[in-house]
Amino acid sequence: MQEKVIPFYSIHFTHQDLLIESLKTIEKRIGRYDYFSADIPAGDEKTRFIGYSKLTNRADLFRYLERIERAIPNSSVALWFSAGYISMQQVVSAWTIYQPDRIFCNKGYYLKQEMMWNGEAFLPLAHAGSEYKQKVTQFFFRSLHAALIAKLR
């Protein structure tokens, strides 16, 4: 039996109007998200995480990646996305670009463990992206974790 997880997207943007338009497109073409983080600044770029309350199989993560690629195909330096999932023990991001800290998984996608549950909170791993090392991100994933626990009961 596949492990049940909650999918999420990270939206990386340089201008607030790009975020607003992409969120409208996501709602229209993919569906209303149930959770969202505050904007996380990183230099000239910001990141926003959005999550869904619907449980899915871990193997279905690739469907979420393909859906965002179809919904918003013109990603650029000013706007780009990644997807991932949260399980009971970890936060994992998925990418289409290889890096040494990413593991090839399927269909040209690579997975990277970003955070690990320590029994009280998700803590970012040393190699995690800077957006995963922010307190606001830890709060966001703690909320998703609580939703996951409630759904699995």
Q: What is the pLDDT of residues 29-47, one digit of tens each?
A: 888 899 999 999 988 899 9
The pTM score is 0.87
Tokens representing 23 are 């969120």
Question: What CATH class does 4-152 carry?
Answer: alpha beta
Domain ranges of the chain: 4-152
Distance CA 74, CA 25 (A): 12
Q: What pLDDT, in 10s, does the model give residues 123-151?
A: 999 999 899 999 999 999 999 999 999 99
At residue 63, the pLDDT reads: 77
Q: What pLDDT, in 10s, does the model give residues 52-63?
A: 888 988 877 777
At residue 110, the pLDDT reads: 86
> Where does the pLDDT of residue 75 fall: very low under 50, low under 70, confident under 90, or very high at 90 and above?
low
Spatial neighbors of 92 by CB under 8 A, at least 6 apart, are 84, 85, 86, 111, 112, 113, 114
Q: What pLDDT, in 10s, does the model give residues 100-128?
A: 888 887 777 888 999 999 999 999 999 99
Token pair 């195909």: residue: 73
Per-residue pLDDT for 94 more than 90?
no
> Where does the pLDDT of residue 73 fall: very low under 50, low under 70, confident under 90, or very high at 90 and above?
low
CB 71 within 8 A of CB 83: no
| 3-class DSSP string for the chain | CCCEEEEEEEEEECCHHHHHHHHHHHHHHCCCCCEECCCEEECCEEEEEEECCCCEEHHHHHHHHHHHHHHCCCCECCEEEEEEEECCCEEEEEECCCCCCCEEEECCEEEEEEEEECCCCEEECCCCCHHHHCHHHHHHHHHHHHHHHHHHC
At residue 77, the pLDDT reads: 58
